[in-house]
């Protein structure tokens, strides 16, 4: 007999919250080639992942600026203007979140996200208050796919995560995808 899914675990970045650092860097660098050069030369995604793992931006900016002083203004701008790297939430994903909650499912989130920028996200995105629990990598000092981060879901909800779970991670929620996931609950 098939088990019923009673919990959905969302990722946030590019599932509910559109994120692309290029949106900011297009305002600060002359063209896509310059953006590509910067992102590659400094290994931007690895640098950003350090913050998702809990490193304070002040430390990351100082270290990266020491290695790449000609880009120090871009590291600082990324932190200062982080809001320019995100956009309004994907409406289809938020509708899916609402439909799942209305159907009585537990809705949790597990995300690689800096603790410092997540505080800003909480202020910007009201729907984040609708999750039963959110595990933020930067608050835990762990990043996906470390299994220890997934274990943090239990304390976040003060219970053992029910089985089976359904997870939506790291894929933008296009209207057809949101419809297919949420169709049974609307």
Q: Could you give the domains of the chain?
A: 7-18+87-185 (3.40.50.1000), 22-85 (no CATH)
Which residue did the predictor score with more confidence, 146 or 36? 36
Encoding tokens for residue 31?
């063209």
**The overall pTM is greater than 0.75:** yes
Does residue 174 surpass a pLDDT of 50? no
Whole-number percent of the chain with pLDDT over 70: 81
Q: What is the reported pLDDT for 150?
A: 85
pLDDT at 44 over 50: yes
How is residue 42 written in tokens? Answer: 């400094």
pLDDT tens track for 64-85: 999 999 999 999 999 999 999 9
Percent over 90 (pLDDT), the chain: 74
Within 13 Å of residue 13, how many CA atoms lie on the same side as its CB?
Answer: 17
């Amino acid at each position: 007999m098939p088990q019923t899914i009673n919990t959905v675990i969302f990722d946030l970045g590019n599932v509910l919250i559109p994120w692309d650092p290029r949106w900011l860097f297009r305002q600060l660098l002359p063209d896509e080639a310059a953006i590509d050069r910067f992102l590659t030369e400094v290994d931007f995604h690895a640098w950003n992942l350090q913050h998702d793992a809990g490193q304070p931006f002040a430390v990351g900016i100082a270290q990266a600026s020491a290695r790449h002083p000609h880009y120090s203004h871009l590291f600082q701008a990324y932190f200062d203007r982080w809001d320019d790297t995100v956009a309004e939430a994907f409406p289809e994903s938020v509708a899916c979140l609402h439909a799942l909650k209305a159907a009585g499912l537990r809705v949790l989130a597990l995300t690689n996200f800096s603790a410092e920028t997540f505080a800003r996200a909480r202020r910007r995105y009201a729907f984040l208050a609708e999750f039963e629990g959110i595990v933020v990598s930067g608050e835990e000092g762990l990043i996906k796919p470390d299994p220890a981060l997934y274990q943090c879901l239990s304390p976040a909800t003060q219970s053992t995560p029910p089985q089976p779970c359904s997870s939506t991670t790291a894929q933008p929620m296009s209207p057809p995808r949101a419809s297919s996931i949420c169709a049974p609950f609307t």
